[in-house]
Structure 1
């Protein structure tokens, strides 16, 4: 058994009974253009909460990210896995001390606890799907950002004070969501 697998997990080599169906849980159909999803302006982009932790019993969340030119979050790390599939465009991922340009059709996984961020240096908007497991990043984004009307909506016009207020809110909430915002040099 792999050191990452726990008894009863798929591939663990241990047969365990599968729990019964939970009829309280429903199938989720996620349409990024639907009025039932939440769109959040954050870190220079718009993040659409396609599948939330509430819908997956906390197992994971799925976020549709629209990242305009020069958009992306600051250097950070968190105690959960994060995977991105590039749907349109290309984006630079900074992982520890390495930069990798990832293009449409590719998927990149960021291991838990590793310093990273991404920046769209392509000159045009990028679209990515982001899975965080377990969930929680969806709630963090909704508490830090500003609601907008659609997946490609421009960010609200914020004053310097508004921006500073949102940055402080992100710093204050980060520990509650297993996240650490790092200085630009990573130290």
Structure 2
């Protein structure tokens, strides 16, 4: 019988079964959106992280890029992605993959709340979100409104931390 080239099972790793409404998960307000970390790099051996995103009308991050793959699967609503300057709309049931290093952003212009899953490979983006985000009570909690000064402080903090997380914030 041929010897397997697949490594032995790592018994230190455990099965993850996650309820997105579990209050013990990390629920974070970021740029007006609410992001819930479903699976972190600590749970996936650093291979990927999975984030549940609730994006209200008008929400979404400004232009940026990073050196990891980022995939979005739309659960509810529709959202406009800008990829290398070109706009495309994705609707519930659709999946969008952003290749590493490509400039992109997304914005909810639909008039209603969007819910999507975001998978980043390898993991690490969830750590950036934890450092810049503000904890909120649940996956469905609205992100608190920020004053102009508070938003400026958020952007300054994000810009200072971004290089540590292989991310570059771009001018709109």
> TM-score by structure 1 length?
0.88
**In structure 2, what is the Cα distance between the partners aligned to 1:138 and 1:124?**
25
Question: Secondary structure in 2 aligned to 1:174?
Answer: helix
1:93 maps to 81
Structure 2 gap ranges (5+): none
Q: 1:63 aligns with which of 51, 57, 78?
A: 51
2:102 maps to 114
2:112 maps to 124
Deviation for aligned residue 1:147 = 0.4
2:68 maps to 80
1:133-177 deviation digits (Å, cap 9, x = unpaired): 000000001100100001111112433222211111100010001
Relative to structure 2, which stretch is displaced further, 163-172 or 64-73?
163-172
2:19 maps to 31
Question: Secondary structure in 1 aligned to 2:7?
Answer: coil
Deviation for aligned residue 1:36 = 2.5
Matched, 1:104 2:92: yes
> TM-score by structure 2 length?
0.95
Tell me if structure 1 keeps the 8 A contact 2:53–2:115.
yes
Matched residue count = 170
Q: Aligned-residue CA RMSD in angstroms?
A: 1.2
**In structure 2, what is the Cα distance between the partners aligned to 1:16 and 1:26?**
22
